[in-house]
Structure 1
Amino acid sequence: MACSAVRSPVLRNSTVRHYAAAAAAQCSSSAAVPELQVLSNNKVTVAAIDNNSPIAQVSIIFRTGSRNETYSTQGLTHHLRIAAGLSTCRSTTFGIIKNIQQLGGNLFATTDREHVAYTLQITRDKLDKTLNFLEDVATQQVFKPWEIPDQLPRLRYELSMVPQTTRVMELLHKAAYRTGLGYSLYSPKRQLGKISTETLQHFVNTWFTGSNCAVVATGVSLSDVSQFASNLNVGSGDKAAEASKYHGGELRKERSSDLSTVAIAVEAAGLNKEKDAITYAVLQRAVGSGPRVKWGSTVSPLQRELSSAVKADDFAALAFNASYSDSGLFGVVLSSVPSVAGSITKAAAAYLRSPKISDADVARGKATLKAEILYAADNEPALLENLGQQAILKGRVYKPSTLVAEVDKVTASEVKSVAGKFGSGKLSLAAIGDLSTVPYLDELK
């Protein structure tokens, strides 16, 4: 059993995770055609790619996450993620773990601000013997009151291991949205031990419904996935999340640290505006999403601008693009020694207000994005993540070649046009670490 905070698809974030291949697939993932249908009996969305992979992956995804929490239930989805694999109506914790291990499978939970997913990975010949455990973990929770407190040490451990760059991104969302998308993926320390079994069960009963559910799979036929999904015990409610509202603002957290970490952002497009979302994804790569060679440097326009401003190399900077269903953030994350943090932050804010990018930068950004889309199509876990996000958030699935074609349609003038809107956008700023030289938000206007 394992759990993870979030693994983001290509168009939502720059992070791309790479896994060692377990076995060579008989047929390329990119050549297989994704299929989708909505079941009539329980309204569950089903999507699958039967790519002849020797490893079958099945995810049960619910369209709910930390944005669906309230002020008094902040951290609930973190508790829910930790509770994956505890006793259910039909299985004990020992029974779930022992059987999955015996069959050589892997069962884990992931959460995002907009989804909770339970994923099973196992060889195709053992899939039928393990699907019932996936169903139990995702839809048959009971949250026994004597099991929940036992998870608190693990919660505390996870909170102690959150990197500073992740913490600053959580602060940035809080500053930008305040509630909803502003609620963190991680539980506040004040909430440890205060999320009861009744609260967890109420959240599951409210949001784990058929209309908010998708079952996606790779290495499995659509008919087999549909048969499994049609028997899921999910509610019939149709509750939707409140629309997000971008506010902008500033949050700072001073800590004893050798580094200053700062994130600056403006509101960008959500996935409900597909053309703009793809344009922002291209813009991120054009501005600079980090070095493409491990331990190497980058020649991105962002890096050049900041280097010329401080005449030093004691910093790291990259652009990020976080797109959600109805809103998004586009900005820059900076990490530097405290002595240059102020200069770096002012230069980054000035660049974000008026990004300087050439046609060559846009061409490089398009090429990078297209490569990431195609790499993800040949990476089984990344393929499943993208398939699940498309099914649960868009209600449709795309072939990699279709996404590549959409990227090709983006013009340099369109990228420069969306970049030009940043000057009138309201800034959000988050900073953590040694903030002795980091300017306040009103000093950046």
Structure 2
Amino acid sequence: MRIFALAEERHQLITAIVPTRPNVGGFQKNRKMRSSLLRNPTVRHYAVAATAPSAACAATPECKVLSNKVTVAAYDNNSPIAQVSIVFRAGSRNETYDTQGIAHHLRLAAGLSTSVASAFAITRNIQQRGGNLITTLDRESIAYTLQITRNNLEESLQYLECAVTKQVFKPWEVQDQLPRLKYELASLSDTVWVIELLHKAAYYNGLGYSLFCPEHRVGTINSESLLHFVNTWCTAPRCAVVGTGVSLAELSALGSNLSIQSADKPNEAIKYHGNEIHQETCASLTNVALAVEGVSLKNEEEALACAILQRTSSVTRVKWGSSPTSLHKQLSCVAGSELFAASTFNASYTDSGLFGVVLCSTPDIIGSLTKETAKWLKSLKVTENEVARGKNILKTEILDAADNQVCLLESLQQQAVLKGQVSSPISIANAVDKISASDVKAVCTLIVLDCNVADKLAKGRLSLAAIGNLKTVPHLEELK
């Protein structure tokens, strides 16, 4: 069972090959970002079901490991639209200090000329068949996805394969992507940047490296660096071939023929440190992200318990209604008549995680809201009614996401590449049911530390990131 790979930060970045003529042949327009960290991770990583309820009952996901160590996962739901992804366990966490931004460049380089086909040939041939080629990046993985009608899949897979495994990164084509990269950096919101800064504050390397290229690194990534990164991290043991609307046999044939290296390099161990980053700007609103170390994906029950905990404090689902959660009640008392926004998040990775709150308000009250949020994070008290509410919300999100083909594919991607197996949404929902109110109050028992997750969160060192007018934003030493 895949539990919260990249949960809510996992910033999902998406790049589609842009056709020379917009909207020709159904080719998808370029999208640089699908959603922020505050999106629902369960939707992304647990929805493994078909679009139609009847198909969901009939079809089940299949998974196996090929002889070349490539993992293959398929969900043949008889959809007329086939989606096939080649996913690698390689993201911004695999960068080094001297190669920061290389994952961002790699995402933008998807669909450029290869050793067997030019960028024009790849775009033209997929476009003429009405397909899309999309690249998705997060801190732990990168996925190349072909979306196309099922009858055109066979002749289009060759272009997906060459775009993924036969890159050459011609220097002039890499340089041509710089205006697009600069545009992406310039168009990012403060909410996105504060999450990036939060990771940088929490981790000194690995997960602390941003999904976006630092400004001082723009133009420094060359073809040799990209090829070295691909050859080091995009290898068979770190690869998964995933598809919906396609049989396991077809995907197995594709996975067996991939021309990628067989070496496997383990990820560098990640250690949570906890620190703070303040960035002054002239913005009228101030964004603050405050977090403690959460739970990793190593233990499924812990991840589910932490997900339920997050939803016990999420905003109300009733339009125009006031939030019943303890967090928002506390913040409302502090804010008075002033407007503010607050959202909890839970970002779980393979070996660490972040659990916290993102705030946005005027400079005058953001400091008081930050202090109140820190108090809430250190207590994390929940009632049985809140636990029941959180469980119901989590199960609803899991099952509702089963109707979304994109969530379906992304769930398979993350489960296959990080876990090596896939699970259905029903099994995840049943696992949520098994988490009792007492488990969530303690947020589950940690095996190694012999204490509960709630205690770990309450006693853990805080991480803080802030952007905007920071005249009232406290420092970490003021939050102890």
TM-score grouping bracket, smaller chain normalisation: over 0.9
Q: 2:395 aligns with which of 370, 389, 397?
A: 370
Q: CA deviation at 1:92?
A: 0.8
Question: Are 1:189 and 2:249 counterparts?
Answer: no
- Cα drift, residue 5 of structure 1: 5.0
Distance 1:193 1:202 in 2: 17
Q: Distance in 2 between matches of 1:6 and 1:347?
A: 31
- Do the aligned residues in 2 keep the contact of 1:5 with 1:111 (CA within 8 Å)? no
Aligned-pair CA distance for 1:137? 1.3
Q: Partner of 2:468 in structure 1? A: 433
Letter of the 1:429 partner, please give it. L
> Structure 1's 254 and 11: CA in aligned 2 closer, same or farther, altered over 3 A?
closer
Deviates more, 1:308-317 or 1:318-327: 308-317
* 1:28 aligned counterpart, secondary structure: helix
Paired residues, number: 438
Other structure's SS at 1:85 match: coil
TM-score with structure 1 setting the length: 0.94
Match of 2:65 in 1: 38
Please state how far the C-alpha of 1:293 moved relative to its aligned partner: 5.3
Matched residues in 1 for 2:270 and 2:40: separation? 16
* Superposition TM-score, scaled by structure 2 size: 0.88
Counterpart pick for 1:361 among 386, 402, 405: 386
- 1:423 alignment counterpart: 458
The reply to whether residue 405 of structure 1 matches residue 430 of structure 2 is yes
Change (3 A) 1:434 1:11: closer
1:287 deviates by 1.4
Query: Which residue, 263, 266, 288 being the options, matches 1:262?
Result: 288
Structure 2 vs 1, CA of residues 165 and 387 (structure 1 numbering), >3 Å: closer, same or farther? same
Letter in 1 for 2:415: Q
- Rounded to whole Å, the distance in 2 between the matches of 1:247 and 1:442 is 15
The structure-2 alpha-carbon separation of the partners of 1:16 and 1:291, relative to structure 1 and needing over 3 Å to count, comes to: farther
1:254 and 1:433 in contact (8 A); partners too: yes
Q: Structure 2: how far apart are the matches of 1:68 and 1:327?
A: 15
Q: Note if contact 2:42-2:398 (Cα within 8 Å) is conserved in structure 1.
A: no
CA distance in 2, matches of 1:175, 1:9: 16
1:53 aligns to 2:79 (yes or no): yes
1:319 positional shift: 0.6
Q: CA RMSD in A?
A: 2.1
Query: Displacement of 1:294 after TM fit?
Result: 6.6
Q: Deviations over 1:345-381 (max 9, x none)?
A: 0111100110232111111111111111111211100
C-alpha spacing 1:208/1:6, structure 2 compared with 1 (3 Å): farther
1:226 to 252, 256, 272: 252
Secondary structure, aligned partner of 1:147: helix
Alignment of 1:321 with 2:349, yes or no, is: no
Which of 79, 89, 102 is 1:63 aligned to?
Answer: 89
CA contact (8 A) 2:44 2:410 kept: no
- List runs of 5+ in structure 1 lacking aligned partners: 18-22
Question: Matches of 1:251 and 1:55 in 2, distance apart?
Answer: 45
Give the residue type in structure 1 aligned to 2:402. A
Aligned with 1:114 (options 140, 147, 153): 140
Correspondence for 1:28: 55
Matched, 1:13 2:48: no
- Residues 252 and 98 of structure 1, relative CA distance in 2, 3 Å threshold: same
Q: Pick the aligned partner of 2:202 from 176, 183, 188.
A: 176
C-alpha displacement at 1:274, in angstroms? 1.2
Q: Which amino acid aligns with 1:323?
A: S
The 1:116/1:394 distance shift into structure 2, 3 A limit, reads same
Secondary structure in 2 aligned to 1:282? helix
Contact 1:283 / 1:419 at 8 angstroms: preserved in 2? Answer: no
Query: CA deviation digits over 1:88-109, x for unaligned, max 9?
Result: 1111111111111111111110
Query: Contact (CA 8 Å) 2:87, 2:142: kept in 1 or not?
Result: yes
Are the equivalent residues in 1 in contact too, given 2:298–2:350 (CA < 8 A)? yes
Q: Does 1:275 align with 2:301?
A: yes
Tell me the CA shift for residue 162 of structure 1: 1.0
Match of 1:340 among 365, 378, 386: 365
**1:325-351 deviation per Cα after TM superposition (whole angstroms, max 9, x unaligned):** 111000000001111101110111100
Task: Please state if 1:96 is matched with 2:131.
Answer: no
Q: 1:166 to 1:8 in 2, by over 3 A?
A: closer
Query: How much does 1:28 deviate?
Result: 3.0
2:319 and 2:53 map into 1 onto residues whose CA distance is 30
Native 8 Å contact 1:267 1:327 kept in 2 = yes
Identify the residue that residue 404 of structure 2 maps to in structure 1: 379
- Tell me the secondary structure at the aligned position of residue 283 of structure 2: coil
Give the deviation of 1:10 after TM superposition: 11
Conserved 8 A contact 2:80-2:245: yes
Contact 2:32 2:184 in 1 (8 A): no
Task: Tell me which of 250, 258, 262 is aligned to 2:276.
Answer: 250
Amino acid aligned to 1:364: R
What is the rounded CA distance, in whole Å, between the counterparts of 1:398 and 1:129 in structure 2? 30
- Distance, in Å, in 1 between the alignment partners of 2:376 and 2:350 is 27
| Identity level (%) | 56
What is the CA deviation profile of residues 236-287 of structure 1, one whole-angstrom value per residue up to 9, with x for unaligned ones?
A: 1111111110000001111010111001111111111111011101111111
Structure 2 CA distance, aligned partners of 1:30 and 1:381?
19
Shift in Å at residue 225 of structure 1? 0.8
Q: 1:299 offset after TM fit, Å?
A: 2.6
Amino acid at match of 1:149: Q
CA distance in 1, matches of 2:254, 2:36: 26
Q: What residue number does 1:307 align with? A: 332
Gaps of 5+ in 2: 1-16, 18-29, 443-452
How far 1:35 sits from its partner (Å)? 0.4
Asked if structure 2 preserves the Cα contact closer than 8 Å seen for 1:9 and 1:386, the reply is no
Distance in 1 separating the partners of 2:128 and 2:405: 23
